[in-house]
A = this chain, B = another copy of it.
């Protein structure tokens, strides 16, 4: 017998993963949460039927959402992740010795608990002394936040609980929560399959941040395999990398200074969305 998990990535595209076992399944107050053991990608965390992360490819997304701004900010002491309950972005942030506080703002406490149980290598940073967990709404939290150095929007897709994280108003809130060297990065979906969403995020970020840029990374279990991130900063350009040979680089499998710069080289079909 074969068991398959199928995600409807859009109305007209699916990805299917052969499954060895369904390890967990529950309905939290916010969403359906599941963990399956897949043959190709190891354990897979699934929210409302959409793959959030897998053991085998998680490093791409987590390194690229976190290391890109952290390699540029001159002194990333206070960093926050909105969403990202699996802890992968926090793990990447904590590689940087400059970081004094890493805040996770996750609306659904069950995601953190299930990640700690089934994905200990991803969630490892959630137990760190520098990590502060806030089980609350990211928008409300951000309104009160001040003087952050880097804020990552590591959200689910723009339906359900994450919808408000894709608005220009929210990017204004983030601007005010950041200090003068502040950088935000938001995951902004696939330029192939969600071009309108990417365009909307870029326009929203550009309304408030003087430096707005888009970069790309290959995440095989996300729709189309090509993922975009939108960068907003108050003064720093993403090319201004510091400490290229720092020891935190040793364990990375995707990010390098060369990959960092390459990620901002946009094909014309993406550039049209970003500039248009």
Contact = CB atoms under 8 A, between A and B. Distances in A.
A224 interface: yes
A192 B255 CA distance: 16
Interface string A1-19: 0001010001111111110
Interface in A24-49: 38-40
Given A216-B218, A267-B255, A15 B14 contact: yes
Q: Contact residue range for chain A?
A: 35 or more
Contacts of A10: 40
B218 A218 contact: yes
Contacts of A13: 15-18, 40
B220 A192 contact: yes
B15 A39 contact: no
Copies in the complex: 2
A235 to B, nearest CB: 23
Nearest to A192: B220
A83 to B, nearest CB: 23
A190 B57 CA distance: 13
Nearest to A253: B269
A11 B18 contact: yes
Interface stretch (A122-130, A176-184, A257-265): A257-265
A193 B14 contact: no
Contacts of A4: 14
Given A12-B18, A192-B220, A220-B226, A265 B254 contact: no
Interface of A: 4, 6, 10-18, 38-40, 57, 59-60, 190, 192-193, 216, 218-220, 224-226, 252-256, 258-259, 261-263, 265-269
